Structure 1
Amino acid sequence: MITVNDVYEYIDSFAPFSSALSFDNVGTLVGDRNSNVKKIVCALDITKDAVVFAEKVGAELIVSHHPVIFDPLKSVCSDNVVYSLCRKGINAICAHTNLDAAPGGVNDVLCSLLDLKNVEAFEPENIARIGDTQDGSLAQLLNTTLIKLGLTNVNYVDCGKTPKKIAVIGGSGGGYIDEVISAGADTLITGEMKHNQFIEAKAKGLNVIVAGHFETEYPVIPVLADKLTKQFESVEVHIFREPAYNVFSR
């Protein structure tokens, strides 16, 4: 019988939990590592809806990207999703920045979707990726991003440069503008940025495409589910997709 710990150890084999950034909280965050697992739900976030879905399909384990416990908990009451997990006996494994950095993880999947070539990892902490685009203009790269991620609008900064070297940081990448430029990128594709970071990117001559936190990270979830399905043939793996939030033009 497959256990929670078996799933943990398998994920650890390709996305070591020890490689997570120091601020992060990853691993088996809720439950019993010795619990048997017949059904798994893969999700970007462990929300109340995700827990309801897991209970509906009879899953004993949710594997998510974002940690279900991140900030310290001062209480665990009925309105808290951790309470729901415990009450329903559903375990939780969370692979966050370790999955961002992993070969075949969040950023590699995003690079593959965007058809980038000669992709390499670079600092910070080898989470980010840089690769070559075949799109000959920012307009073409914007169109590729819209099509590949199933979007109608994105935020962007156009500095008048033809995109050649593309840095990719799924999720929150706005804090790494200097590192992206130092790596030789002329364009950054990421999930979200603060207002002042848009201004900073423009001032420093960096093209930016901001396509949504959910939208840039969710593509890894079906890939993760497929890996778990192939590794644990006796386990039924489901995917939960939370409705995406709107991405507005800038």
Structure 2
Amino acid sequence: MRLADVLPVLESIAPLRLAEGWDNVGLLAGDPAAEVLSALLCIDYTPAVAAEARAKGCALVFAYHPPIFEGLKRVTAPGPIYEAIRDGIALWSPHTALDMAEGGTNDFLADVLGLGARAPLRAPGAKAGPVPEGEKLGLGRIGDLERPVARSEMLARIKQGLGIPALLVAAPPEEREVRRVAAGAGACGNLVDDALAQRADLYLTGELRHHDALRAARLGMTVVCALHSNSERAILPRIGARIAAALPGLGIEVSVEDRDPFVVQ
């Protein structure tokens, strides 16, 4: 099949119109007329991931974080963009479009938390404030669990759902059950005030500023940081399955080289 056959499927999963105005999403490099037999899914298009794509013969890389974010003045060797173009590897990125979309990154985190009904933490384009009733698109997710659970149980649920061994947790000193929970993938520390205002007991994100963590714990809300890309990566197999179902002739690989740059030692 051609890359032009694949692009509408990708955009049905992460409609590009939903992306934040500052973002750079969609096809960043590549020829829509080029043949594509297989695609590699990752969060970050690192040199190791680029080498993996070449070794596996993947002519398309679905890179959640845009490998081209700001304007480029030169595309020269050595460099990942030059080498992708040279080797006929197309680069496509959804980033905040996937965060906003139904079934996207934040809905995945809501599933990990165990939420049924959920709503955005913040409406698209809003600086802060409540989300209009019935709105399904927006930044983050929040909702109520069917039953309260112990904080320790929720932390174990998050680690299992994200496939990671450890979390950064700032919490009130006393053990509390959690019922109202919220999530925002990646660098969504700026939604901590939204989570507090909407009375979340626990807020899951990728990273958070030191003083925001202190303030949240003081005000009675547990904040959980999985590390930036750890809060995003676990959705890739689900996205791969959706692409494969729509395009059964396209080989789908989830990168084995893609990982968060930080490790706990």
TM-score w.r.t. length of structure 1: 0.91
Task: Measure, in 2, the Cα distance between the counterparts of 1:194 and 1:75.
Answer: 34
Q: 2:166 is matched with which residue? A: 153
Task: Measure, in 2, the Cα distance between the counterparts of 1:246 and 1:55.
Answer: 25
Q: 1:120 is matched with which residue? A: 119
Gaps of 5+ in 1: none
- Whether 1:239 aligns to 2:254 is yes
Q: 1:226 is matched with which residue? A: 241
Corresponding residue to 2:144 among 109, 118, 132: 132
Q: 2:127 is matched with which residue? A: none
Q: 1:108 is matched with which residue? A: 107
Query: Within 5 A, what are the aligned runs for 1:36-47?
Result: 36-47=35-46
Corresponding residue to 2:231 among 213, 216, 219: 216
Letter in 2 for 1:243: R
Q: 1:31 is matched with which residue? A: 30
Task: Measure, in 1, the Cα distance between the counterparts of 2:73 and 2:245.
Answer: 39
Give the superposition deviation at 1:119: 2.2
- SS for the counterpart of 2:76 is coil
Q: 1:74 is matched with which residue? A: 73
Task: Measure, in 2, the Cα distance between the counterparts of 1:131 and 1:68.
Answer: 33
Q: 1:194 is matched with which residue? A: 209
Give the superposition deviation at 1:111: 1.9
Task: Measure, in 1, the Cα distance between the counterparts of 2:192 and 2:113.
Answer: 20
- Kept in 2: contact 1:29–1:93 (CA 8 A): yes
Change (3 A) 1:13 1:147: closer
- Kept in 1: contact 2:121–2:191 (CA 8 A): no
Q: 1:143 is matched with which residue? A: 156
Q: 1:165-223, CA deviations, whole angstroms, 9 ceiling, x for partnerless residues?
A: 11111111111111122233221001111223212323443210111212110111111
Query: Which range moves more in the overlay, 94-103 or 122-131?
Result: 122-131
Between the two proteins, the alignment pairs up a number of residues equal to 248
Give the superposition deviation at 1:39: 1.2
- SS for the counterpart of 1:192 is coil
Task: Measure, in 2, the Cα distance between the counterparts of 1:60 and 1:152.
Answer: 33
Task: Measure, in 1, the Cα distance between the counterparts of 2:209 and 2:118.
Answer: 26
Q: 1:63 is matched with which residue? A: 62
- Kept in 1: contact 2:144–2:181 (CA 8 A): yes
Query: Which range moves more in the overlay, 216-225 or 177-186?
Result: 177-186
Give the superposition deviation at 1:20: 0.1
Q: 1:164 is matched with which residue? A: 179
Letter in 2 for 1:131: G
- Kept in 2: contact 1:171–1:217 (CA 8 A): yes
- Kept in 2: contact 1:212–1:247 (CA 8 A): no
Q: 1:93 is matched with which residue? A: 92
TM-score w.r.t. length of structure 2: 0.86
- SS for the counterpart of 1:136 is strand
CA RMSD, aligned part only?
A: 2.0
Query: Which range moves more in the overlay, 30-39 or 145-154?
Result: 145-154
